[in-house]
């Protein structure tokens, strides 16, 4: 989720950074053990591919509020559909 700048106080940010630093350190150690020089390029390519896939808007079963209202307005296959999100 995205939050606006200045939404969290400096004290909250400091506490959260202090809490997450040990987790980052552990993750780095585990990543260095799990991935070698051969598997890192594959990880990078797959990460780029997943980023490309996220650029396309694909319908999701259930959708979100806006998608539900669009379905109600236009309907799939020309049939009006009800909005169940409210």
Read off the pLDDT of residues 52-64 as tens digits, 9 standing for 90 and up.
988 887 776 665 5
* Nearest-angstrom CA–CA distance, 24 and 18: 10
Most confident of 5-14, 19-28, 50-59, 67-76: 19-28
Same domain, 43 and 21: yes
Same domain, 19 and 51: yes
Same domain, 39 and 1: yes
Domain count, the chain: 2
Same domain, 37 and 67: no
Q: Which token pair is 49?
A: 């591919």
Contact 72, 80 (CB under 8 A): yes
Same domain, 64 and 40: no
Q: What is the domain range of residue 27?
A: 1-55
Where residue 68 falls among pLDDT bands split at 50, 70, 90? Answer: low
Phi-psi region of 63 (alpha: psi -120 to 50; beta: other; left: phi over 0): left
């Amino acid at each position: 989720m995205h939050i606006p700048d200045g939404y969290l106080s400096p004290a909250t940010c400091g506490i959260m950074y202090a809490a997450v630093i040990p987790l980052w350190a552990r993750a780095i150690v585990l990543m260095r053990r799990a991935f070698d020089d051969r598997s890192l390029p594959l990880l990078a390519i797959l990460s780029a591919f997943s980023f490309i896939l996220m650029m396309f808007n694909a319908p999701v079963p259930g959708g979100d509020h806006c998608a539900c209202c669009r379905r109600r307005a236009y309907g799939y296959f020309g049939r009006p559909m009800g909005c169940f999100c409210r």
